[in-house]
Amino acid sequence: MKVSLVYPGIIGKGFDSIGQGMDSGWISHGLAILAPCARRAGHEVNLIDLRALKGWDHFRQTVLERRPDVVAVTMMSVDYNAAVRCLQIVRKVDPAIVTMVGGPHPTILPQEVIDLECVDHVFMGESEETFPRALDALQRGEPIPRIVPGTHPDLDSLPFADHDLFIEEWRRQGYTVTSPEAPFVAELPPPFVTIIAGRGCIYNCSYCQPAERLLFGRQVRRRSVENVLAELRSLRERYAFNSFMFHDDCLTEDRDWVIAFCESYIKEGFTQPFFCQSRADIIVKNEDMVALMARAGLRGYFIGFESGSDRVLRFIHKGTRRWQNIRAAEICRRYGIAIWANYMLGIPTETKEEVLETISMLKKIDPDYYSPAFYTPHPGSDLYTYCMENDLSLIRNHDSYRRNPDEAKIKGIDYEWLAWAVKESQRRTLPNRLRRWAKANRARYERFLRSERKIEEIKEHLARHRYRREGATRTSS
Ligand code: B12
Ligand code: SF4
């Protein structure tokens, strides 16, 4: 079968935006793994990435040129409109093309997608086994169900994510790609790549779960350390990457795995810095693990602090406390680990006083990167159900599933005041500004001292060389 996979993620930066930050500079691991799985079964696969196209006419034209038997689109809730438009265009271009859709949104709300006239088959959950099997069945002319349930494959048996699926398509569309994926912080120099070591999450945050479990099951499955290192070796050979990021929801949840990985990473001679996601409670309970990670190359954690109010943290079932958030930041500072702070404002039931507690917590944490969000009810999460039951959601369009703090999401919340709170949460205190200035300038001063020492060494070396030459000349004369 000739298959065109479609990545519809234009909600962030739009068409023609490759390379612009994480929204438009990162690959989709879902598609990047499904491609080699389908190829392994003998199917021909290409990618259409809307972010690399000029607009809808360009998409139509590309489908006409590629002439696929199957178009398979991935879909987060936020991608719904773009994904559906793709499928409608495909239907018009050639009704004989079989259309498939998978990913988080169809897994969580399959009925919303299967009712669409432009969709033939909906895949739920992980599809490395079911997708090629369905393509095989189609090829043999056998029927496949309209809704295909997922499986939970053994992760070590899967092929590595095919970064080239994306890079080659971006190049084909005229982009010069110097880094496989877009680096996003100063600590991670290009060439930069992302990888995933496992799937699932044991925690129960009510703004997220049970959606994660619907996708990946109740058990967290992690690839073996050796399997992840083998992928890193192959990425090093292919792209000579200088830094990377783990996409795992919470890599540090499995302490033994992390320790084994860090020890092997160091032993193998890898020195590339990396970021990963973690939680405040884990950092506080495992300072020795944090120290080892820093020694191995960890340069930053994404941490979901979410709120500075213990009541709100309890309400969202975060399982962390305000003091842990602040202590975790102190530990990160001790080991030179940058903090990417994820936090939400406008959570249902949250008072202005509680928002102020989040602001005061952030002043203490002083993160390197602020990532504020207006709480957004996502389908498949307990808090979404709570919002629906209490008629709180203002979301009328899938485009609004972005968490960006620029749009009202929940009834009864004073978003004008919250806009002030977002700004205020990112205003550093004077002592923090001074501390950062001193740190930045100490680094600059140390660089100056190092270059001065180097110049002195060169001068000495030249003087010795001249002395030997002149000495030799005098002896021979
Ligand atoms: C990395 C990541 C990102 C990255 C990169 C995304 C990318 N290019 O893929 C960034 C940071 C950019 C990002 C952004 C956002 N993300 Co995000 N992200 C993730 C994360 C942590 C990992 C994704 C991943 O690679 N998973 C591993 C792969 C293997 O799984 P997969 O993609 O689901 O694919 C498998 C199946 O779903 C299925 N499948 C997928 N597609 C298809 C298609 C077909 C045809 C078939 C047959 C099967 C199939 O098979 C695949 C293999 O098993 C997930 C959480 C998670 N653990 O998955 C959240 C997650 C996907 N993100 C989420 C959200 C909400 C967002 C944002 C909206 C947040 C925001 N800023 O507002 C944005 C929107 C991005 C956009 N489109 O503009 C939600 C989605 C929830 C939902 N209902 O849609 C998730 C689930 C996190 C969560 N629990 O809330 N994200
Ligand atoms: S928010 Fe993060 S830690 Fe909480 S359940 Fe979701 S993936 Fe797990």
CATH code at position 56: 3.40.50.2300
Residue 172 located in a structural domain: no
Please work out whether the CB of residue 49 comes within 6 Å of at least one atom of ligand 2: no
**Nearest atom in ligand 1 to 379's CA:** 83
Residues 296 and 321 in one domain: yes
Residue 173 located in a structural domain: no
What percentage of the chain carries pLDDT values higher than 70? 99
Structural domains counted in the chain: 3
- How far does the centroid of ligand 1 lie from the alpha carbon of residue 104, in Å? 7
pLDDT at 471: 63
Q: For residue 106, is the peptide bond before it cis, meaning its omega torsion is within 30 degrees of 0? A: no
- How far does the centroid of ligand 2 lie from the alpha carbon of residue 35, in Å? 27
pLDDT at 449: 78
**Nearest atom in ligand 1 to 5's CA:** 45
Query: CA-to-CA distance for 206 and 386, rounded, in angstroms?
Result: 10
- Give the per-residue SS3 of 374-386: ECCCCCCEHHHHH
Average pLDDT over residues 384-393: 98
- Amino acid identity of 90? V
pLDDT at 187: 97
Residues 317 and 388 in one domain: yes
**pLDDT higher than threshold 50 for residue 432:** yes
**pLDDT higher than threshold 60 for residue 477:** no
Q: Which residue CA neighbors atom 7 of ligand 2 most closely?
A: 249
Please work out whether the CB of residue 249 comes within 6 Å of at least one atom of ligand 1: yes
Categorize the per-residue pLDDT at 54 as very low, low, confident or very high, splitting at 50, 70 and 90.
very high
- How far does the centroid of ligand 1 lie from the alpha carbon of residue 186, in Å? 24
What's the burial of 72, exposed, middle or buried (CB within 10 Å: 0-12/13-18/19+)?
buried
**Nearest atom in ligand 2 to 201's CA:** 8
Q: What DSSP line would sit under 429-449, residue for residue?
A: PHHHHHHHHHHHHHHHHHHHH
Q: Which residue CA neighbors atom 3 of ligand 2 most closely?
A: 203
Residues 89 and 133 in one domain: yes
Please work out whether the CB of residue 205 comes within 6 Å of at least one atom of ligand 2: yes
Residue 133 located in a structural domain: yes
Residue 392 located in a structural domain: yes
Counting ligands in written order, the one closest to the CA of 204 is: 2
The CA distances from residue 27 to 20, 163, 195, 222, 229, in Å, are 12, 7, 10, 20, 20
Nearest to 40 by CA among 158, 146, 134, 207: 158
Among 7-16, 30-39, 87-96, 459-468, the minimum mean pLDDT is found in 459-468
pLDDT at 465: 79
Helix (H, G, I), strand (E, B) or coil at 98: strand
Query: CA-to-CA distance for 284 and 343, rounded, in angstroms?
Result: 18
Mean confidence (pLDDT) of the chain: 96
Beta strands in 149-241 (DSSP E): 192-195, 198-199, 221-222
Residues 259 and 365 in one domain: yes
Neighbours of 389 (CB within 10 A): 8
Most ligand 2 atoms within 8 A of CB, residue of 201, 278, 317, 371 to mutate: 201
pLDDT at 192: 98
**pLDDT higher than threshold 80 for residue 261:** yes
Residues 381 and 470 in one domain: no
Please work out whether the CB of residue 223 comes within 6 Å of at least one atom of ligand 1: no
Q: Which residue would you say has higher pLDDT here, 110 or 474?
A: 110
Please work out whether the CB of residue 22 comes within 6 Å of at least one atom of ligand 1: yes
Domain that holds residue 270: 185-427
Average pLDDT over residues 28-56: 98
Residue 171 located in a structural domain: no
- Residue 404, φ and ψ in degrees, nearest 5: -55, 140
Beta strands in 171-212 (DSSP E): 192-195, 198-199
**pLDDT higher than threshold 60 for residue 319:** yes
Q: Which two tokens stand for residue 290?
A: 């944090």
Query: 302 near 327, Cβ under 8 Å?
Result: no
**pLDDT higher than threshold 80 for residue 448:** no
Residue keyed to tokens 């499986």: 151
- Residue 373, φ and ψ in degrees, nearest 5: -140, 150
- Core vs surface per residue 410-424: b (16+ CB within 10 A) or e: beebebeebeebbee
Categorize the per-residue pLDDT at 472 as very low, low, confident or very high, splitting at 50, 70 and 90.
low
Q: Which helix (H) or strand (E) holds 371?
A: strand 369-374
Cα first-last separation, the chain: 84
Average pLDDT over residues 169-184: 96
Residue 178 located in a structural domain: no
CATH code for the domain in which residue 411 is found: 3.20.20.70
**pLDDT higher than threshold 70 for residue 475:** no
Q: Which two tokens stand for residue 316?
A: 């969202």
Average pLDDT over residues 174-196: 97
**pLDDT higher than threshold 50 for residue 329:** yes
Please work out whether the CB of residue 253 comes within 6 Å of at least one atom of ligand 2: no
Average pLDDT over residues 259-272: 98
Categorize the per-residue pLDDT at 415 as very low, low, confident or very high, splitting at 50, 70 and 90.
very high
pLDDT at 476: 44
**pLDDT higher than threshold 60 for residue 474:** no
Q: Which helix (H) or strand (E) holds 101?
A: strand 98-102
Q: Angle, to 10 degrees, between the axis of helix 322-334 and the axis of helix 287-296? A: 40
Predicted TM-score (pTM) of the model is: 0.93
Pairing of strands 198-199, 221-222: antiparallel
**Nearest atom in ligand 1 to 194's CA:** 1
The CA distances from residue 435 to 269, 345, 387, in Å, are 34, 27, 42
Residues 66 and 110 in one domain: yes
Q: Which residues pair with 329 in a beta bridge?
A: none
Residues 189 and 139 in one domain: no
- How far does the centroid of ligand 1 lie from the alpha carbon of residue 76, in Å? 6
**Nearest atom in ligand 2 to 319's CA:** 4
**Nearest atom in ligand 2 to 277's CA:** 2
**Nearest atom in ligand 1 to 34's CA:** 52
Q: Helix, strand, coil shares of the chain as percentages rounded to 5?
A: 50, 15, 35
**pLDDT higher than threshold 90 for residue 185:** yes
Q: Which residue CA neighbors atom 6 of ligand 2 most closely?
A: 208
Query: CA-to-CA distance for 339 and 329, rounded, in angstroms?
Result: 7
Query: CA-to-CA distance for 273 and 294, rounded, in angstroms?
Result: 9
The CA distances from residue 176 to 17, 211, 239, 387, in Å, are 12, 37, 14, 45
Residues 218 and 366 in one domain: yes
Categorize the per-residue pLDDT at 196 as very low, low, confident or very high, splitting at 50, 70 and 90.
very high
